[in-house]
Chains A and B, each alone.
Chain A
Amino acid sequence: MKSIKNTILYAILLLAAFASACKKDLPVDEDGLLITTRAECFVSNFELLGTDFITVRNGVPIIDTVAQTIDVTVNFGTDLKNLYPQFTLASDCKLDPKIVGKVDFSDLANPKTYTVVSGNRKVRKAYKIIVKVQ
């Protein structure tokens, strides 16, 4: 009787092992983020913060997802060398390059470019940040 119980137990364990082995893990990218099936790739909102972590925007940013530009007007007196940009992206997207601290936006003639990468990591869209001072 005892041996039958053991056999059933081993059989269940074996099945569980097979089941887990058959399950396919979702892949992750070099940043450890899940690569999903989503192909959406756009910026939905943009923010610029000053050194005091208060917005320096003057009005809402104009995000053109076709031309892939973000036009933002900042207040007079904004310290353009020390700004913290913040992006809101479509689900599962990520940004390249990453924002790790203050960013210098003082070269108005050469706007900074950030690339949005879709959740499936197959679509890349480069957005130009065009800053104008009030």
Chain B
Amino acid sequence: MLNIIKCRTYMAGLLMAGLFASCEKDEYKIPDPISTITSDGIKRTLGPNIVSLPIEFVYAMAIPKSIGKIASAEVQASIPGATGTYLEHRSYYTNTSGVDVPVTVGSPSVTTGNSTKVTFSVDTNAASLRYFYIVPQEAMGKQVSFTFTATGSDGKTATYKMGPYDVSKMEIKKGLAVSNNNMAFISIADMAVYNAASAASNAANIDLVYLYRTTPVAFTHGLVAPAADPAYLPGVTLPAGVSNNSKILKVWNLQDRNLAGLQFGIYVDDKDFQQVDLTTASNFATGLRAEAGVWVETADKKFRAYVFINSVNVNGSAVVSMLRYNMTTK
């Protein structure tokens, strides 16, 4: 009985304490104002980082008016960017219509080695600059990281590190025009299209033949290995030595964003090349249309490629783009 009474008293005490505590009002504390230059960044590019394509960042910086103005912005990449790498000298804001409006804040960027710098020429306290890093060949299969630095007129700096980011082992080639009985010989090894004469001198590298046939009706646009059954190469005279037996797997609804001209939200990545099962794949694909694609494995198994059909024309031509993955490099 005594224990019950003790327990009740204890509970009542706790309740009272709780009531008092809940009545206590926290005083609002004004945060300390930022008294120096600061910066922040985001990576805008989604999907794999591919050699020759840009990786886009936005670097934002601000300095209190009482301290001074922004003097310069600089990016250092761990691997120097390829030609075309630049830091915007215009700061963008989005207007009420959702349109990005540029405001020039400095002179065009200057790239020296792995550093790209914009020197500000206007009196501004805040800016957000875009940085386009063109992935260089030497970065393939490696990691790349970036150090963004903003310098204020007081000489102080703010630094923001981004990465490391994996660079894909894929290579890309866009907009290859193929045509029936002319530019019909596609090389994955060279990532190029040849006519019959050129194909003969590159015979070992010809992996696909493009052809267009109206009969049978289902044939239309085809990508066929030179060693395929002649029934799939009607009327085609192969140049001397063109005889590779590539594996071909037809797919649909795989519109890689990079291949499809920045449409769609699908990306083919290194892992897709590693995992696609081509063991039972055939050596021909007919009935192809725009936005279709084929996985290809070269006869020597050195390369795998994803060939995307950008557009087709009933006069017997098409535009294709390809991503290629070297299966032999680690």
Contacts and interface: CB of A to CB of B under 8 A. Distances in A.
A81 B252 contact: no
Given A75-B216, A79-B249, 17 more contacts: A50-B250, A51-B250, A51-B251, A52-B250, A52-B251, A52-B292, A53-B252, A75-B218, A76-B216, A76-B218, A77-B218, A77-B285, A81-B280, A82-B249, A82-B280, A104-B280, A134-B216
A52 B281 CA distance: 12
Interface of B: 216, 218-219, 222, 232, 249-253, 280-282, 284-287, 292
Contacts of A75: 216, 218, 287
A77 B213 CA distance: 12
A104 B280 CA distance: 9
A79 B218 contact: no
Interface in A57-77: 58, 75-77
B246 to A, nearest CB: 14
11 contacts: A52-B250, A52-B251, A52-B252, A53-B252, A58-B218, A75-B218, A76-B216, A76-B219, A77-B232, A79-B284, A81-B282
A101 to B, nearest CB: 9
B266 to A, nearest CB: 14
Interface size classification for chain A: 10 to 19
Contacts of A53: 252-253
Contact of B252 (A54, A76, A77): A54
A127 B277 CA distance: 29
Cβ-closest 9 pairs across A and B: A77-B286, A52-B252, A75-B218, A76-B216, A79-B282, A76-B218, A52-B250, A52-B251, A51-B250
Given A82-B280, A102-B280, A51 B218 contact: no
A75 B232 CA distance: 13
B219 A79 contact: no
A81 B251 CA distance: 15
Nearest to A75: B218
A81 B247 CA distance: 13
A75 B281 CA distance: 17
Nearest to A50: B250
A51 to B, nearest CB: 5
Nearest to B282: A79
A77 B219 contact: yes
B282 A82 contact: yes
B284 A77 contact: yes
Interface string A41-53: 0000000001111
B255 to A, nearest CB: 12
A75 B288 CA distance: 13
Contacts of A52: 250-253, 292
A134 B250 CA distance: 19
* Residue in B232, B280, B292 whose Cβ sees the most chain A Cβ within 10 Å: B280
Nearest to B251: A52
Contacts of B250: 50-52, 79
A109 to B, nearest CB: 17
